[in-house]
A and B are shown apart, each in its own frame.
Chain A
Amino acid sequence: MSTSLSVRSLVKEYVRGKRVLDGVSLEIAGTGLTAIIGPSGTGKSTLVRCINRLVQPTSGEIHFEGRDLVRLDRGELRLARRHIGMVFQEYNLVERLTVIENLLSGRLGYVSPFKAWMRRYPQADIDRAFELLDAVGLASFANTRADALSGGQRQRVGIARALMQEPKLLLADEPTSSLDPRTSVEIMTLISELCTRHGIPALVNMHDVELARRFAGRIVGMAAGKIVFDGPPAGLDDDVLKTIYGGANWLQ
């Protein structure tokens, strides 16, 4: 099992002196789904966003594909980001573009801006887009505008867009927090199945512990900016959950 991602002593301070991430270290190896759980404000989202540097780390190292992402300049970072797909809590689709255009925007790192503007993508990309559209169950929605879709449908497009990049790692920042319970299960099933099928490790940030238990092969629990648990879902007993979330009432 090769290591896809290696985070070492990651620190993030939004305000000087207040550490949101306090020396986090994490290794992702193999191709399973890892869930990060923890209370709000504990740095889960910050951790995931530091990996593709949507948030700039204060210090630490993030090794991916043989390079330290923290040290990369803008051009190199852009190239590295092509191999990291991301799914967002609020889908972040380009609302006025159609579903197929949103999917193809996953290939923007590989196509010149002029060709992208003219919508001239290689045939292989277009074929792959339709395949992925089918895989997420939206085959007839190719020319629908993104803002005409429901939340669950939008997230499916978001997942397909991330997979269009042919990424080596999939990040998901609370992908189900804006969805109802049934759609949340559908989306997590989709992420889990597609990542297994394409052999892509997934790092998913979520606040629903049951969902994490059901879909993750490995759970990372965070509290106050540090990792306090790292192991299989079976090891997640009440004591561990209290350490992560604090307080006893919510467990009843």
Chain B
Amino acid sequence: MNWWARAGWVALAAYVVYAASRLDFTWARFMVGLDNGARFLARMFPPVIAQPDSLLKGLTESLEIAVLASFIGILISLPVGLAASRNLMPVWVTWPARAVIAICRSFHPVIVAIVFVKAVGFGALAGILALAVASVGFIGKLFAEAIEEISLKQVEAVRATGAPFMSVVAYGVMPQVFSRFIGFCTYQLDSNLRNSTMVGIVGAGGIGGTLFSAFQRFDYDFVCAILLSIIGLIMLGEVLAQWVRGVFLDRTRVQDE
């Protein structure tokens, strides 16, 4: 084993050296890059809000995209996630649901956004749809996994009272997974907010478009202002997520004795 391990390390080292040489990575280039980088940073500071209207519009649009995409995504992932849970549903229901979730998860949101821009045109709608798909993939999968971990005894007891299926879900399943579900939703809200700043680069609305065009105009001090405002937006999103958690989770929190 020892010989094999050593041979493996040597092979790995050889590959790293070889790959690095393919990448055109020279010391000279690194030095020039550092110099360029310093000049670039200098041009970014101090940040200047060159087009306040454009900036504000971009930020609000990103926020709207994130909130709407999360809302639509959550609404869809409730039934899809439920349909995908193998302990509650027969195979002919879980297979299509799990396939849908897998497809939604396969592609990076930007790729999906490109597709939607082609389909519905430039603008926020494409961004909303793309992020809704991403939401269904994420929340749907985790929701289904959470449902598969519940205690079926509670479900059995509710079934034994003669409750219809939706009531069994409402009383036997949801109480057991609700707090985790809210956790997934707030995480996805945050993720959508971050992604919503990016889908604009491919034309799907939001601050990404403003950022990209500022970049292409070499308006680097405006770029810096936009980047800082994105940080502010994400922090706002964090506060929003905490508020949502506070609203929904407080009453189910276990009291400390």
B161 x A116 contact (CB < 8 A):
no
The answer to whether B163 and A108 have CB atoms under 8 Å apart is yes
- If over half of B's interface residues share one DSSP class (helix, strand or loop), that class is named, otherwise mixed; here it is helix
A186 within 8 A of B: no
What's the minimum C-beta distance from B88 to chain A, rounded to whole angstroms?
14
Q: Does A90 sit within 8 A of B, measured CB to CB?
A: yes
Binds B, one of A23-31, A63-71, A79-87, A200-208: A79-87
Q: Are A92 and B153 in contact (CB under 8 A)?
A: yes
* A161 interfacial contact with B, CB 8 Å: yes
Residues of A within 8 A of B172 (CB): 94
Interface size on B, residues (CB 8 A): 22
Contact partner, A106, options B153, B159, B161, B176, Cβ 8 Å: B161
Cβ of A160 to closest chain B Cβ, rounded Å: 12
A93 within 8 A of B: yes
Contact B161 A161 (CB under 8 A): yes
Q: Are A109 and B163 in contact (CB under 8 A)?
A: yes
Give the docked Cα–Cα distance between A109 and B162 (Å): 5
Closest approach, in angstroms, between the C-beta of A117 and any C-beta of chain B?
Answer: 5
Instruction: Please tell me if the beta carbons of B170 and A78 are within 8 angstroms of each other in the complex.
Output: no
Which listed residue (A81, A96, A117) contacts B161, Cβ 8 A?
A81
Residues in B with CB closer than 8 Å to A93 are: 154, 157
Q: Mark A88-106, 1 if CB is under 8 A from B, else 0.
A: 1010111111000100011
How many A residues, CB 8 Å from partner? 34
Which residue of B154, B160, B164, B254 contacts A52 across the interface (Cβ within 8 Å)? Answer: B160
* Cβ–Cβ contact A116 & B167, under 8 A: yes
Cross-chain contact of A88 among B157, B164, B166, B167 (Cβ < 8 A): B157
The one of B160, B170, B176 in contact with A81, judged by C-beta atoms closer than 8 angstroms, is B160
Taking beta carbons and an 8 Å cutoff, which residues of B are in contact with A? 153-154, 156-164, 166-168, 170-172, 175-176, 178, 252, 254
**Can you report 11 A-B residue pairs in the complex whose CB atoms are below 8 A from each other?**
A88-B157, A92-B156, A94-B154, A94-B158, A94-B171, A95-B175, A105-B171, A108-B168, A116-B171, A117-B166, A117-B167
